[in-house]
Structure 1
Amino acid sequence: MPSERLEMNDMARFSSETNLTDGKKFPWGGCYLSTALGFVLVLLAVLIAVGVGVVVYFAAGREVVCDCRMLEVNDGVVSAAVKQQCQKLAQRGNTDICDACPRDGSKTTALATSKKAKVKDVRLPRSLEPLYYDLELQPFMYSGNVDEFSFRGYVSIVLDCREATNNVTLQANKLMIIDGTVTFSALSSTTSSVPAVTSWELDEERQFLVIHLDEEMKVGEKYVAALNFTGPLKDDLHGLYLSSYVRGDKPVYLATTQFQPTDARKAFPCFDEPAIKSRFNVTLIRPSHLTALSNMPVKDSSRTWTDQGIDWVADVFETTPKMSTYLLAFVISDFVNLNATTSNNITYRVWARPESIGQAHYALEVGVKVLTFFEDYYKIPYPLPKQDMIAIPDFSAGAMENWGLITYRETAMLYQPGVSSEGDKQRVAVIVSHELAHQWFGDLVTPSWWDDLWLNEGFASYMEYVGVDFVHPDWKMFEQFVAEDLHNVFDFDGLVTSHPIYVPVYHPDEINEIFDRISYGKGACVIAMMKHFLGPNTFTKALTNYLRERKYDAAFHNDLWAAMTKQSQMDGKNLDVKAIMDTWTLQMNYPIVTLTQIDKDNVKVTQSRYLQDPSAIDPGKYESPYDYKWDVPVTLTSSVERHFNQTHGHVHWLWKSAEEATIYLAGQLPDVSDDKGWIMGNLGQHGYYRVSYDHRNWKALCAQLSTDHQVIPPINRAQIINDAWSLAKGSYLPMEIALQTVEYLQNEMDYLPWDVATSELSYVDTMLSRTGLYGDFEKFMTSKIQAPFSKVGMNNTGATHLQSYMRSLLSSKACYYDDSSCLDNATTLFRQWMADPAKNPVDAGLKGTVYCTAIRQGGLEEWTFAYQQYKLAQVAAEEARLLTAMACSSHIWILSRYLELSMMHSEIRKQDALKVISSIARNKIGRSLAWDFFRANWPTIHSEHGGSFFALSNLIGSVTSSFNTEFDLQQLNDFMAQNPNQGSGNRAFLQAVEKARSNIAWMEQHYSTLKNWLGKLSL
């Protein structure tokens, strides 16, 4: 990327002030000291600091260090002065420790261990630009001790000198550089003077490899740095790593990669930042009986030799286009493929282990259709000559968009009709579509730095629905988008511990933290909102222009806004897209838009910030540049008009600078005195905001649901439920009104409203499950589920996709709340399977319910059978379903044994370990057990899964989701205080604290209301 483009980044040239291009200077500038004198001074400073700390500690008597502060503790009670200090520090952004310190005078355990500050200056200097890499890798995983498997490599990098410098600074992690192999030379023999290597060093904390030269390189000259290295080949799911599966009773190994975001440097020394693109010449060395795959097709395999009984082949691949290191991919395995050719002559292959290749037909079918569709949608041909997709047995994420070689978890790519469910089928289609969307948005054009991760993931998370809707329009993907993404991320983004879409990140732990629902879900939702207010034609034309302008390069989000604004003006809409979208991307949370009918012609519109717990103390880590005001695109209709399918031409604007707006709708509104007349906003829920009304309007909407709910489309029925319950959670709306939104459910037969309602009611279930009110709540749920469940039953024959979803949902809830016919059906089917394991009589769409119910109702015999079937399963979706179902046991000792098995990777794959703990945490009987196990095994969990995208944060959320007492909160605070170094789990812990406080407030405010309401229903 040209240097002038880098200045567009808000983080001031990647936020790195360290000048590594001049070996004579310290990073902070200033005076220069000899090494000996510097060492003496540093040692003296350390001794003084230690001495002062000791004196302060003993002089204060009861003062101890609480992270980076001194807290005065009197018999474990935090004083008012200290609470005030804590709050002040919280406002300045010291959230790492302030949320672990009670603000209410309760007892605390102060820390004696300080949290070590992360090194944040981890960005590379930009004095050199890599033009080409020649990379050769050879894994050794075929004999001997698996713990000693390794790989060796050679890399040669052609460098263009942009600024004079006397060192080459690369990134490397967990690699051993071979002494004597580091070389530096000129690319051309005409270069007059070539610097020589004087030394090299590894800065492990910053993951740098620095090659020092005896003189500076000259600007404009081309040089070549080369070296040999080795690395361990471990099953750690990052970098170049080891995966395996079992054939017969023997393990079969493969080497594969996961480089995003910062693990290409774990496979070879490189410039491992997304904006530093280059071309790659890759050679992979393999035994002759295996296959090697990379981003490009193989061009030569003629080099062969035999060494220690192994016949080796060197596969040389075609040169890649200019691309980021994190998008490289390598796989060496014994996998086989299915293939097809697209209408635009792209070779398309899907790969899996030989035993599973028959399950890859659907992924191939969907992939070919979606790839061709996206070529037409983007108006840009797919840039590579081939597209491979491969299902990896051990994989930390769902899938990875490596350019031309997409890697998948097996459950995300493999589908077996009759064994896999409709949900499994949709998962494959959605993830394939997501990764193919990335081939343009993310791969062809890449964000300049990880602060714009959302540009990648938010866009692909929206486009996945566009691609699947093209292939399966009957699946109503945009209805599902509302529940799967919008409502889901609303919960996350209603916290003060959320973060803006665009957020500064430095250390790899911080980068991993933002692989979360904000970057994916909120990013998708604001893009969907933008598409709606611009209109689809303006949106797609601007997108094509953006991709064409920035192809094979990196971009900043302002580049996208500029393309959208320009096209908007060309199409006569004259919207400043940057000004609008900055209000959604540069501040966290979202608004409540309140609509108040003034008279028969006018509606008043106002906005306010939504918080799940309005009393939560905002840590001030992210200041809002707009005082939590947004530019809001408003749509609305009424009981008179009932126009729900409004386009961009019907959008009204509430600007951030206005206190309110008035929408004039002559003749389209009911009389304000009409108790049955209503207005409704955010039609189709295209907007990223909640809507509220006065109490009269809310009651009219609830009455409409009770009398004829089909007047309102399923998306907006779901919206009424989700908005009302979320507003009640934050005390913006009386709980009595939220409860009225679900009183009609016995008449609801559409999947989406039921899906949203059960999500809200599951929260109530969790909150009440340890109270005396739970029995009455069970009766209410049974009364609502009974009628629709009796209509759909448990016979899934001939059901459409969404009918299957509805049947699965209602069956699951019916069995959960002990409906006798559901229990009998489930246990009978499971017993039939146990009697004849070769013939499973359970419909694929009901397997999750049947397995869980039978194991919950049964004992060791049922659990052991399920575990045996899990070990024998040849379909990944079936394996995953059994893994979850085994957590349904009602026997503490069985759950305890299962938790122990989760940490034995010979029994449960490492990628699935945290899923076991999370599933047991969701079991009412197992939640305390899971929390205790989590605490006892935190060092191992953190070490093995700290860099695994969503996995760690999801686990933290799962094991703490039911916390709703002061005792629960104190346990959480104590654990955080005792374990201050939380790595990529830090944000998730802070959110767990906030959610626990919100749950406590919810119980205090709403328990009595629920008690009265449930009491009336039971009369």
Structure 2
Amino acid sequence: MGKGVFLSKALAVTCAVVAVAAAATIIALAVVYAQEKSKNEVKPTSTAPPPIITTTPSTPKEPWDHYRLPESLSPVSYNVTLRPRLKPDANGLYIFTGESTVVFKCVKETDLIIIHSNKLNLTKFRRVPRQLSGALKVGDSYELFTDFVGELADDLGGFYRSVYVEDGVDKVIATTQMQPTDARKAFPCFDEPAMKAVFTLTLIHPAGTVALSNSLNHEPVNVTLDGEKSTMTSFHPTKIMSTYLLAFVVCEFTFITNELVAGPKPETLIRIWARRKAIEAGQGDYALEKTGPILKFFEDYYKSPYPLEKSDQIALPDFGAGAMENWGLITYRETALLFNPNVSSNGDKEWVATVIAHELAHMWFGNLVTTRWWNDLWLNEGFATYVSYLGADFAEPSWNMKDLIVLNEVIGVMGTDALASSHPLTSKEEDVQRPEQISELFDSITYSKGGSVLRMLSQFITEEVFSKGLQTYLEEFKYSNAGYTDLWRNLQMAVENSSVALPASVEVIMNRWILQMGFPVVTINTKTGTITQKHFLLDPESVVDRPSEFNYEWFVPVTWIKTGAAEQSLWLVKKEDTNPSMITGGDEWLVANIDMKGFYRVNYDDANWERLLAKLNSKHQDIPVINRAQIIDDAFNLARAKIVNTTLALRTTTFLDKEEEYMPWETFRRNLNYYFLMFDRSEVYGPMQNYLKQQVEPLFNHFKNITGNWTKIPEKHTDQYNQVNAISMACSTGVDGCKELTSGWFAEWMNNPAVNKISPNLKYTVYCSAIAAGGEKEWEFAWAAFKNATIASEADKLMSALSCSKQPWLLNRYLEYCLDPKKIRKQDATSTISSIAGNSVGQPLAWDFVRSRWDYIFNEYGGGSFSFGGLISGVTRRFSSEFEYKQLLQFKEANAGNFGSGTAALEQALERTKANMKWVALNKKPVLDWFESQAPAV
């Protein structure tokens, strides 16, 4: 490998460069002239990373003090060679060495070269003999050469290491996660999404390992370096792409492939990579079976061929996110790619299908066409979230995935977006500068709300028109960058070439949904036909200090049905309107927002609420199943917002003793969970349990009957989910025979550890129930099973179920395990702490643990980690007292500025706690009275 860093031009016009570290993530390479004439080469620095010179982000003075790069230079291509060491050096460090050449053009006159680098030691600077005679010239191309050393750390970011055990031997993997701002940890680069280039990569890796990257590789070459037998693998140049989509892996994995799979164009190579034993056990078969058809679906949907020659997908033992859409080499957590039908549940299978569809959707939307800056992250992730359900529905048409998006995305994110501390889908570029600000955007608003409003858009312009607009958008901006206004423009052209009628342009309508946070509650008066909209807030007294140029008004696509009538629709474009067709009388009921295609809640006049309740209790099937779920969810949330009374919300659940469908039951379970969070430490708990037991017992018996006394698996996908709900709620409320059933299954497994006969769908429920009912013996058995699990989905179920114990000392010990990567992987630490906090016994233990260890958790597990928001939310979800609110404030003050990507989640936790305090004070007595009136004490 060549050494040094220097600038060259085709005619050998050159100059020396000086490196300046600044703002924690930027190295500025400044062009220096006459004063450097006498210097020819600077000696190598030590192997320790250089000190970081920080500046105040709010008042940058020099170009290198900014987080964003100047627009003066544009990269064209990189040639990068990296050599990761998979064994520690004399200091116990895993390192990698590398050299990089970047060719760039000068697009604005400058005398500075500023490039990103983070945690890299640039080992040598030198210049060549001839000198550049002035500033870089517009239109000219230049080259920058760097040699560097970095640490192959276990921090799950940049170029990092992952470790797994096979045949009793530790195996080390070198792998990557560049998004959003960690390509600069692998090599110096222009690390911004709009600075696309072509990348040519060479990896030098230990003999016996395989190297993968975005492109196909040339034939590997055997080499000997430093007395070590190695392999050199070079890859074909990539397409023009962003740095965050780069990926490379060195491992001992194997793969399966089927080039004849029904899928995209025949020459596309599809491979599924994983640990050798996982592949041999067939855990990659399902992913291979579905990848081809999903790719083919997106080719047809986008009317655009898959842009690359191959699609590699690899399951990694340590991976911070669920998956990453690296172009041509998609990286996954093992649970998101591997599936074993004998051990994994139908939920595991659905997760694999939807994650694969999400990542493959990005191959076009995100990779081929990329957003210009991270403030528009929602466009990439919201879009992939929405169309992942279309892709999964194509792959598994019997699952009703287009319905399940309502539960998984729409209903879930409304709780967050109804807070005054929510945020719009898109932000101003200047408000998203620092890496932690970028990481903070990887939240449920970006993914789930983004997917929900795009689903709404595709419904009111029709899926066909939506698809046509996407096709022209992708064709116009392929291998380039675009913003959301470019998408609106292409969708508008598609609308104008169709028969779709809109009250305004796509841009005018959709800007209301993405430029202001929140969503409306639409109130329909069926006596007068009056319809109104208002910004919906869970706490109506909360202060909304984020201004909106639209005054929190939306263009709302309202749909509804009445008794025996066809679906009707209108646009609500102002605060109030009147439509006579909404007037009802007698027993005629009206339900709005059909199938929850619109991102809004619905309230009615009292008379219509009563008619809906009567219909649910007499013949609930007359109301569409998604709307039965919606009625429950809207009512509970309207009650929390003091728009309807709490007893009305509770009354929407009385029909459930006759309901057998999953979506209404799941919506009830989630909403009642809030009541348990607020009241499971109070006198409300007993009557509430009695009511739930009364409602769920018929459902428990229903599944007992249709499964032949639990000997068969229900055929319907959602019935399999609802069977889990039935057993889980029945056991937690003491339905006769339930705990005996689950504890018996678990005891049978304990008596014969080699044979686990528990149905894969029921495993987590059985494990949790048995561990909660048991003691140390059951916990230790499950812990041993977790440590020995060879299937990631099985390990996940056991890891989560271990938090169900009611023994404080076991939970405290488990919390300590969370900070030992040899016991709980770093990728799972924060989610495990949150699981423990979900247990009423574990919540105060987890909160004390997080507060006392915050500095360690934050520094060791990374302030930029995407899971920090989830950790803060998880340990505070039960907070509902003044004492807890003050504790949270003290936590904020004691760790000021030390929350990273969890900053917004902390503000949301404070707001939620305040709202919970008010809600409990107002509702505790009526809730207690209602539950006592509905179910006799046991």
Q: TM-score, normalised by structure 2?
A: 0.90
Corresponding position: 1:180 with 2:101: no
1:581/1:451 Cα in 2 relative to 1: closer, same or farther (>3 Å)? same
1:979/1:184 Cα in 2 relative to 1: closer, same or farther (>3 Å)? farther
* Counterpart residue number, 1:529: 456
Question: How far apart, CA to CA, are the structure 1 residues paired with 2:681 and 2:755?
Answer: 40
CA contact (8 A) 1:945 1:951 kept: no
CA shift, 1:299, in A, is 2.2
Aligned residue identity for 2:408 = E
Which residue among 498, 503, 509 is the counterpart of 1:571? 498
Question: How far apart, CA to CA, are the structure 2 residues paired with 1:771 and 1:611?
Answer: 27
Corresponding position: 1:1007 with 2:936: no
* Counterpart residue number, 1:804: 720
Corresponding position: 1:832 with 2:748: yes
Aligned residue identity for 1:330 = F
Q: Point out where structure 2 has 5 or more consecutive residues left out of the alignment.
A: 1-25, 33-55
CA contact (8 A) 1:118 1:507 kept: no
Corresponding position: 1:480 with 2:480: no
Question: How far apart, CA to CA, are the structure 2 residues paired with 1:463 and 1:627?
Answer: 31
1:932/1:296 Cα in 2 relative to 1: closer, same or farther (>3 Å)? same
Which residue among 602, 608, 611 is the counterpart of 2:537? 611
Which residue among 179, 195, 201 is the counterpart of 1:282? 201
CA contact (8 A) 2:79 2:100 kept: yes
After superposition, what is the alpha-carbon deviation per residue over 1:261-290, rounded to whole angstroms, capped at 9, x for unaligned? 000000000000001100011111112211
CA shift, 1:597, in A, is 2.1
Which residue among 467, 474, 495 is the counterpart of 1:540? 467
* Counterpart residue number, 2:38: none
Aligned residue identity for 1:584 = W
* Counterpart residue number, 1:355: 277
CA shift, 1:818, in A, is 2.5
Aligned residue identity for 1:768 = F
Aligned residue identity for 1:370 = I
* Counterpart residue number, 2:169: 250
CA contact (8 A) 1:593 1:607 kept: yes
* Counterpart residue number, 1:407: 331
After superposition, what is the alpha-carbon deviation per residue over 1:792-827, rounded to whole angstroms, capped at 9, x for unaligned? 037262422222111111111111223231100111
Corresponding position: 1:159 with 2:82: no
After superposition, what is the alpha-carbon deviation per residue over 1:810-865, rounded to whole angstroms, capped at 9, x for unaligned? 11111122323110011111111111111001110110111111111111111111
* Counterpart residue number, 1:714: 625
Aligned residue identity for 1:347 = L
Which residue among 410, 414, 420 is the counterpart of 1:490? 414
1:280/1:639 Cα in 2 relative to 1: closer, same or farther (>3 Å)? same
CA shift, 1:248, in A, is 3.1
- SS at the partner of 1:314? strand
CA contact (8 A) 2:82 2:203 kept: yes
Alignment of 1:620-631 (within 5 A): 620=545, 622-631=546-555
Instruction: Kindly report structure 1 stretches of 4+ aligned residues shifted beyond 4 Å.
Output: 18-24, 115-120, 143-146
Which residue among 367, 383, 388 is the counterpart of 1:443? 367
CA contact (8 A) 1:275 1:324 kept: yes
CA shift, 1:368, in A, is 1.2
- SS at the partner of 2:163? strand
Question: How far apart, CA to CA, are the structure 2 residues paired with 1:353 and 1:750?
Answer: 39
* Counterpart residue number, 1:77: none
Question: How far apart, CA to CA, are the structure 1 residues paired with 2:401 and 2:99?
Answer: 47
* Counterpart residue number, 2:804: 888
Corresponding position: 1:325 with 2:325: no
CA contact (8 A) 2:264 2:306 kept: no
CA shift, 1:145, in A, is 6.0
Question: How far apart, CA to CA, are the structure 1 residues paired with 2:909 and 2:187?
Answer: 37
CA shift, 1:557, in A, is 0.6
1:710/1:521 Cα in 2 relative to 1: closer, same or farther (>3 Å)? same
Which residue among 484, 508, 524 is the counterpart of 1:557? 484
Identity of aligned residues (%): 40
Alignment of 1:234-313 (within 5 A): 234-302=153-221, 304-313=222-231
Corresponding position: 1:514 with 2:441: yes
- SS at the partner of 1:744? helix
* Counterpart residue number, 1:592: 521
Question: How far apart, CA to CA, are the structure 1 residues paired with 2:883 and 2:579?
Answer: 49
Which residue among 660, 671, 685 is the counterpart of 1:760? 671
Q: TM-score, normalised by structure 1?
A: 0.83
Which residue among 729, 735, 756 is the counterpart of 2:646? 735
- SS at the partner of 2:284? helix
CA contact (8 A) 2:425 2:514 kept: yes
CA shift, 1:664, in A, is 4.5
CA shift, 1:659, in A, is 3.3
Per mean C-alpha deviation after superposition, the further-off stretch among 820-829 and 988-997 is 820-829
CA shift, 1:391, in A, is 0.2
* Counterpart residue number, 2:79: 134
Aligned residue identity for 1:874 = T
* Counterpart residue number, 1:433: 357
CA shift, 1:118, in A, is 9.5
* Counterpart residue number, 1:926: 842
Question: How far apart, CA to CA, are the structure 2 residues paired with 1:821 and 1:792?
Answer: 13
Which residue among 574, 592, 596 is the counterpart of 1:681? 592
Alignment of 1:377-396 (within 5 A): 377-396=301-320
Question: How far apart, CA to CA, are the structure 2 residues paired with 1:184 and 1:769?
Answer: 73
1:777/1:470 Cα in 2 relative to 1: closer, same or farther (>3 Å)? same
Equivalenced residue count is 867
1:909/1:508 Cα in 2 relative to 1: closer, same or farther (>3 Å)? same
CA shift, 1:944, in A, is 3.0
Aligned residue identity for 1:882 = L
1:145/1:394 Cα in 2 relative to 1: closer, same or farther (>3 Å)? farther
Question: How far apart, CA to CA, are the structure 2 residues paired with 1:116 and 1:631?
Answer: 38
Which residue among 214, 218, 232 is the counterpart of 1:314? 232
Aligned residue identity for 1:539 = F
* Counterpart residue number, 2:702: 791
CA shift, 1:915, in A, is 1.8
Q: Relative CO higher for 1 or 2, CA cutoff 8 Å, sep ≥ 6?
A: 1
CA contact (8 A) 2:28 2:116 kept: no
* Counterpart residue number, 1:344: 265
CA shift, 1:430, in A, is 0.6
Question: How far apart, CA to CA, are the structure 2 residues paired with 1:949 and 1:803?
Answer: 36
Alignment of 1:31-46 (within 5 A): none
Question: How far apart, CA to CA, are the structure 2 residues paired with 1:549 and 1:1018?
Answer: 63
- SS at the partner of 2:351? helix
CA shift, 1:144, in A, is 4.5
Question: How far apart, CA to CA, are the structure 2 residues paired with 1:1012 and 1:836?
Answer: 48
* Counterpart residue number, 2:3: none
CA shift, 1:947, in A, is 4.6
Question: How far apart, CA to CA, are the structure 2 residues paired with 1:760 and 1:742?
Answer: 10
Q: Point out where structure 1 has 5 or more consecutive residues left out of the alignment.
A: 1-17, 25-114, 186-192, 196-213
CA contact (8 A) 2:180 2:438 kept: yes
1:778/1:798 Cα in 2 relative to 1: closer, same or farther (>3 Å)? closer
* Counterpart residue number, 2:901: 984
Which residue among 885, 909, 912 is the counterpart of 1:969? 885
CA shift, 1:651, in A, is 3.6
Question: How far apart, CA to CA, are the structure 2 residues paired with 1:147 and 1:876?
Answer: 29
Question: How far apart, CA to CA, are the structure 2 residues paired with 1:300 and 1:134?
Answer: 18
- SS at the partner of 1:359? coil
CA shift, 1:301, in A, is 2.3
* Counterpart residue number, 1:91: none
1:786/1:455 Cα in 2 relative to 1: closer, same or farther (>3 Å)? same
CA contact (8 A) 1:632 1:654 kept: yes
Question: How far apart, CA to CA, are the structure 2 residues paired with 1:882 and 1:832?
Answer: 16
* Counterpart residue number, 2:148: 229
- SS at the partner of 1:554? strand
* Counterpart residue number, 1:997: 914
RMSD after superposition: 1.9
- SS at the partner of 2:729? helix
CA contact (8 A) 1:866 1:882 kept: yes
